[in-house]
Each structure stands twice: as C-alpha cells, then as structure tokens.
C-alpha cells in the first residue's frame, strides 16, 4: 500500500469524529477521507459535504466493508466499539479506535482474541497523549536514567464542564483512562491496584455524580500514581503530569512562567490563557497520532498503543469503577498474553 494514498472511513462524526475528518482532509499526508457514517444521517451528510468526494455510508458495518476504505477511524460511543472492531478485524482493515477500546474487560478480551486469531495486529487505540511532544520527551527523560528510578507520577486532569449525562463511572472510563494509559506508558509497567476516592462533590456536579475524583495507582514495580480528575472546573482544560524520580522531576503541561492561578469567570490568569477544550490542548498530539497511524498502516504495521493497551486500560478502569463504589483498593487481574492463543 506504500505507493497509494491511504483511504479512510470515519465511524461517528460527532465532536471527535468531525475533528478527525477535518485533520485528515487538511493536515495528514498520504491519506484521504472517503466515507463517513453516523446514526444521525443529517450529521453525516453535513460533515461529508464539507470535503470534496466524501460519501456517506448507510451504517458502520457498510463503511467497514466498503472496498474504497483502506482504514477505519472509530469515533462512535464506546458502547458500540466491540462489534465495529470485530468487523474491522474480520476485514483486516487497520483501525484507529478512540478510547475506550470497549466498555469492559471481557469484551476487550474478545477483541484481543479475535485479532490474535486473525494473526495480524490492526488495532491502534486513541491514547493520543503518547504522541504529545511533552509526554514523549518526558518518556525519553525518564528512560535516560537522568532522574534515577521513577518513584511517582502526579496527574491533574480538568475539563471546563460536562453534560449531566457524564456520570461518575464515565469520569473513570472516559477521562481517567488517559491517566491509566499515561502511567503504563511512562513506567512501562502494568497497574496492579487502583483506589478511587470521592471528595465532597463540587456544587456544579449533577445530583449523585462524584466530581472531582481522586485516585491512586500502584504499579507492578512499586511506583505510585496520584490523580485528580475534575470535569466541571468552570475554568478550562488543564492537564498536567509531574514525574518524580530519585534525583529529579519533570512536568508536562505546566505554563512557562509566573504564578499559575485560575478562577472561574476569569479566563486564565497565569499570563496566558487556559485552553477551553481538550481538542485545543492536544491538537498537535492528535495530528501526530493520525499521521503515525496512516504511516504505519501504509507500511502494514501498528504504532503506539495496540489492543493489549486498550484491554489493560479497560481492565484498570473496570476495577476503578468497582473501587469508586466501595472506596477500597481493587486489584487488577489481567490475563497473561500466553492465554490469547
């Protein structure tokens, strides 16, 4: 496929899918958007109509089967990912699947087993922070030994606001899932235990929703990760990660200078502005992720987080949701890769 333009279909053209349609059509080399599908056919037509030569498919499975589609971006809700992934695997089509891979570890395991049975990796999971230049550089620095052994990570993950439908479990499965992958990526290890605590909710949290949440990961190598996830902070999108080693530390996502103060109603008071949305903060990371996926797919390989990473993150999130209910530590049980065959 190396010498041909990589033709892409996008399943789901809500906020994230429409964003990917724009980047594929404007900023990604050697690729072309050819087909989109969405249960809201008017929305699919509207997105397709923005670009030359883009059609709409009647549904996700028709898009996956279409001969004009070389690769698939899945940007539909996580609740429908399993069937779409299994179809992509069956058709042998390289797939970039937005997180979460699926909704629970059992369905994630079925996807991983199907890919293993097919004898070819085609699934890349949309953990785009791995492609963010700051996180990538942090990984290099931690791996260089310059700070000694990595002892801890401290993550902050704040959104400006979310709809009332974004419940406590979604804060774990859809938001904290990024910190789960960041911890696995930076430590190069699995998470063996997760604890999710429930501070007194913000007055902006809907009735019954635990927002913010504080959580802890224990890594298999003994390292610890602390996380604050707060998705209705009323200010903007703030994502930071501080890695602490035995002889030094490094922070990703910290403003360049000055006292960093934020307050609702005052757009960013640190001498700059605070992004209002994750697509602004990570636009470069998404572009690099999509370009890496296209380049790898054209070369017949998968780059970055694959099906195992999606399964492991889903299993940790599942344990996190259990801990959210009990407030107690929950151990993470992953299958051994050998059992996949």
Residues that bind ligand ISE (CB under 6 A): 159, 174-175, 178, 231, 278
Q: For the CA atoms of the chain, what is the radius of gyration? A: 20
Burial 132-143 (b: 16+ CB within 10 A, else e): bebbbebbebbe
Least separation in angstroms between CB 223 and ligand ISE: 23
What does the block give as tokens for 122?
Answer: 């085609």
Least separation in angstroms between CB 70 and ligand ISE: 25
Least separation in angstroms between CB 55 and ligand ISE: 27
Gap between the Cα atoms of 311 and 257, Å rounded:
39
Q: Residue 227 in contact with residue 212, Cβ under 8 Å?
A: no
Closer to ligand ISE by Cβ: residue 123 or 170? 170
Q: Residue 293 in contact with residue 287, Cβ under 8 Å?
A: no
Least separation in angstroms between CB 278 and ligand ISE: 4
> What's the first-to-final CA gap in the chain, in angstroms?
29
Least separation in angstroms between CB 222 and ligand ISE: 28
Closer to ligand ISE by Cβ: residue 159 or 314? 159
Least separation in angstroms between CB 151 and ligand ISE: 25
Gap between the Cα atoms of 154 and 243, Å rounded:
7
Q: What string of DSSP letters covers 32-55? A: EEEEEE-SSHHHHHHHHTTSTT-E
Query: Strand runs (DSSP E) across the chain, as ranges?
Result: 6-11, 31-37, 55-56, 71-74, 95-97, 123-125, 150-158, 191-197, 213-219, 224-230, 238-245, 249-252, 330-331
Least separation in angstroms between CB 337 and ligand ISE: 27
What does the block give as tokens for 146?
Answer: 């310059």
Closer to ligand ISE by Cβ: residue 70 or 238? 238
Closer to ligand ISE by Cβ: residue 32 or 178? 178
Q: How many residues does the chain have?
A: 341
Closer to ligand ISE by Cβ: residue 212 or 245? 212
Q: Residue with CB nearest ligand ISE?
A: 175
Closer to ligand ISE by Cβ: residue 54 or 231? 231
């Amino acid at each position: 496929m190396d010498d041909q333009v990589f033709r892409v279909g996008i399943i789901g053209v809500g906020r994230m899918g429409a964003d990917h349609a724009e980047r594929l059509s404007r900023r990604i080399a050697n690729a072309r958007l050819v087909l989109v599908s969405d249960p809201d056919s008017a929305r699919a037509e509207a997105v397709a109509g923005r670009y030359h030569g883009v059609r709409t498919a009647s549904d996700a499975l028709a898009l996956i089967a279409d001969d004009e589609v070389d690769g698939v971006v899945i940007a539909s809700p996580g609740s429908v990912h399993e069937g779409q992934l299994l179809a992509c695997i069956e058709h042998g089509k390289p797939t970039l699947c937005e997180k979460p891979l699926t909704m629970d570890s059992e369905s994630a395991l079925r996807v991983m087993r199907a890919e293993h049975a097919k004898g070819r990796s085609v699934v890349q999971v949309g953990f785009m922070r791995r492609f963010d230049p700051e996180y990538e550089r942090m990984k290099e620095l931690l791996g260089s030994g310059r700070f000694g052994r990595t002892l801890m990570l401290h993550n902050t993950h704040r959104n400006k606001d979310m709809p009332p439908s974004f419940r406590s479990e979604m804060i774990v499965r859809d938001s904290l899932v990024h910190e789960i992958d960041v911890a696995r990526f930076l430590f190069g290890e699995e998470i063996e235990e997760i604890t999710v605590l429930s501070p007194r909710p913000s007055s902006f949290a809907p009735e019954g929703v635990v927002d913010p949440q504080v959580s802890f990961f224990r890594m298999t190598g003994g390292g610890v990760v602390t996380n604050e996830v707060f998705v209705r902070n009323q200010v903007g999108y703030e994502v930071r990660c501080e890695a602490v080693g035995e002889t030094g530390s490094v922070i990703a996502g910290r403003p360049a200078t000055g006292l960093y103060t934020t307050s609702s109603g005052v757009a960013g008071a640190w001498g700059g502005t605070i992004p209002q949305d994750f697509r602004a903060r990570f636009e470069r990371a998404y572009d690099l992720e999509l370009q890496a996926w296209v380049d790898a797919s054209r070369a017949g390989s998968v780059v970055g987080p694959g099906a195992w990473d999606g399964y492991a993150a889903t299993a940790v999130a599942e344990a996190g949701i259990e801990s959210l209910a009990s407030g107690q530590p929950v151990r993470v049980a992953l299958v051994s890769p050998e059992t996949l065959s």
